[in-house]
Amino acid sequence: MNRFVAMLAMVSGAAGSAAAPPIRFEEIAEKAGLRFALRNGEAGGFHQIELTLGGVATLDYNYDGCADVYFTNGAAIPSLRKTGPQFFNRLFRNNCDLTFTDVTAEAGVAGDGYAMAVAAADWDNDGFTDLFVAGVKGNTLYRNLGNGRFADRTGAAGLAARVPKWAVSAGWFDYDNDGWLDLFVANYVEWDAAKEPRCGTPERQYYCHPDAYRGLPNQLFRNNGDGTFTDVSETSGIGAHVGKGMGVAFADMDGDGFTDVFVANDSVRGVLFRNLGNGRFEETGLEAGVALRDDGHAIAGMGADFRDLDNDGKPDLLVSGILNDSFLLFRNLGGQQGFEDYAQRTGLLMSTRQLTGWSLGMYDFDNDGWKDMFFALAHLMQLDRYLGRESALANRVYRNNGGARLEDVSGSAGPAFQAAAAHRGAAFADFDNDGRVDAVVSAVNGPAKLFHNVSGGAAHWLGVRLRGVRSNRQGLGAKVRVHLADGRDLYNHATTAVGYASSSEPVVRFGLGAQAEAESVEVHWPGGQVQRLSHVAGDQVVEIVEEGRK
């Protein structure tokens, strides 16, 4: 029995997984004032962009300790503006009492184009979280001014009029460990409303397969530390690989101290960019074993998360796909050994065969010490018309209960959780600061959902908020190890790039099970500095400030 099976097969009494209460969610968006409907502008033209929006972000934009929500939105088609009804992105402030106020107008972040994705992080190290919004006709960089307002810095930062245009996801990470967050943009396909291919017949038209479109290379922009960025896509090697990028996720997969990048591609093989540490990346998806399904087929990869699922200190990779693809789980073998396909052995492969997954996340929803899985689901809309199958689906949550298989516990997650919709983006945060991770999910042409985690039990938890000094301000890329008195080690790392087109809180979270404190907390900052704290009380978010000066 290898280490992964042994770890998953271990049912620890200290973790309390054998008797863990159900993972349950209460849907409270309407009650909380989080009233938003994602509009794709569909008007019978079967435009490809109607399928792929829209992301959502959780961020603390006003630095009050409560997670806020930002939704991207669509626009009129085909000209995308000033022809028919306009739909705008929306920012909701968390009032710190599990209610929200729409502050879009005063914040200045409505946008006026067809947005796809949002990536949130403090790129200028001023202590306030900024926004990058990716879309069909261009992208927008919003700088948080710290007074409740944002300013468009796209042009001033050198990010305006950059080709290629249609971006589906983006994320922030410090690829060169210089203390400034760099920007990765996952681009999809070439698209022009006036030249779009038509598929089917005039009487029976449908959305084209991605094969009908030419793919695009991804982009990497280096943060110069002065408010501007330099396009290093070509010199870094990122731009040499054409794909159809959707989800993007970051982790130091081989433990060399540099953050690597995985991009889920639509119907072509996924790509894994190994960071060589010298400003360049090597694409190693095939060699590492994460480019294709175990049978050699590419899936329509959409969402991705890059986290340590089995608590062995090595980040594993989770990828969602479309109907008949199944979702993929790759176990990290360590160093440069690559990954092994683990979806079949955990039961994930067969149980997701008939699903279509968009955003996702690996979080410990019941705080038992094992990261669980959340999937935002919906089939493509044309299934309703041509295959006689409902496109709306209920979301799924899988418990990692310390056993040899993941357990689908969606049926006991609450009646509202089981309501079907055309779900898309999903982001994660603890909105009421009770130590239980919640989820916010967008839905095409329907109301957004806020899943408040109301799982019972007395399991303890710990959140780690990092404040970089020599590293980037939010400590993105830092690896955190928690050691418990019962001998267990728990691992996680700081990132906001989670799922599909979405962005989650930067707090690094751990379920402690029956343990009321962490015997030690060890932070490996980007750049190599290691910082340790002893006897850290649980049931709190502790801020750890990096030692030293920049």
Mean pLDDT of 424-432: 98
Look at residue 122 and tell me whether its pLDDT is greater than 50.
yes
Q: What share of the chain is helix, strand, coil (3-state, %, to 5)?
A: 10, 35, 55
Residue 19: other Cβ atoms inside 10 A: 9
Look at residue 510 and tell me whether its pLDDT is greater than 80.
yes
Residue 87's pLDDT is 83
In the numeric block, which tokens belong to residue 188?
Answer: 């999809």
Mean pLDDT of 401-415: 87
Cα dihedral angle (413, 415, 416, 421), rounded to 10 degrees? 100
**Least confident segment among 49-58, 158-167, 261-270, 359-368:** 158-167
Long-range contacts of 84-89 (CB under 8 A, 24+ apart): 84/41, 84/43, 85/39, 86/112, 87/39, 87/41, 88/112, 89/115, 89/118, 89/133
Q: How far apart are CA 308 and CA 4, in angstroms?
A: 11
Total residue count of the chain as it appears in this document: 550
Contact 433, 65 (CB under 8 A): yes
Q: What are the pLDDT digits (tens) for 437-486?
A: 999 999 999 999 999 999 998 899 999 999 999 999 999 999 999 999 99
- Distance from the Cα of residue 547 to its chain's centroid: 29
Q: How far apart are CA 168 and CA 218, in angstroms?
A: 10
Strand pairing of 460-467 and 508-513? Answer: antiparallel
Q: Which residues of 81-110 are buried (b: 16+ CB within 10 A; e: fewer)?
A: eeeeebbbbbbbbbeeebebeebbeebbbe
Q: How far apart are CA 513 and CA 527, in angstroms?
A: 31
Confidence band for 41, pLDDT divided at 50, 70 and 90:
confident
What is the dihedral sign for C-alpha 284, 288, 291, 296? positive
Mean pLDDT of 256-278: 97
Q: How far apart are CA 302 and CA 266, in angstroms?
A: 7
Q: Supply the DSSP string of 259-326, one letter for each residue.
A: -EEEEEEBSS--EEEEE-SSS-EEE-HHHHT-SS-TTS---B---EEEE-SSSSSS-EEEE---TTT-
**Least confident segment among 60-69, 193-202, 326-335, 507-516:** 193-202
In the numeric block, which tokens belong to residue 165?
Answer: 């245009």
Which uninterrupted H or E stretch holds 178?
none
Query: What mean pLDDT is reported for the chain?
Result: 92
Q: Greater confidence, 17 or 428? A: 428
Q: Supply the DSSP string of 326-390, one letter for each residue.
A: --EEEEE-STTS-EEE-HHHHTHHHHTTT--EEEEEEE-TT-SSS-EEEEEEB--THHHHHTS--
Residue 15's pLDDT is 41
Residue 89's pLDDT is 96
The answer for residues whose C-beta is within 8 angstroms of residue 96's C-beta and 6 or more apart is 64, 65, 66
Q: What angle is formed at CA 155 by the lines to CA 183 and CA 175, rounded to 5 degrees? A: 15
Nearest CA to 376 among 269, 315, 450?
450
Residue 404's pLDDT is 56
Mean pLDDT of 319-323: 96
Contact 443, 424 (CB under 8 A): yes
In the numeric block, which tokens belong to residue 192?
Answer: 């022009």
Look at residue 47 and tell me whether its pLDDT is greater than 60.
yes
**Which residues is 540 bridged to in the sheet?**
462
In the numeric block, which tokens belong to residue 494?
Answer: 């700081």
Residue 159's pLDDT is 95
Q: How far apart are CA 477 and CA 468, in angstroms?
A: 11
In the numeric block, which tokens belong to residue 390?
Answer: 């409902």
Q: What are the pLDDT digits (tens) for 133-176?
A: 999 988 999 999 999 999 999 999 999 977 668 999 999 999 99
Residue 12's pLDDT is 36
Look at residue 11 and tell me whether its pLDDT is greater than 70.
no
In the numeric block, which tokens belong to residue 450?
Answer: 């806020």
Q: How far apart are CA 146 and CA 228, in angstroms?
A: 19
The answer for residues whose C-beta is within 8 angstroms of residue 518's C-beta and 6 or more apart is 462, 482, 483, 484, 510, 512, 535, 536, 538
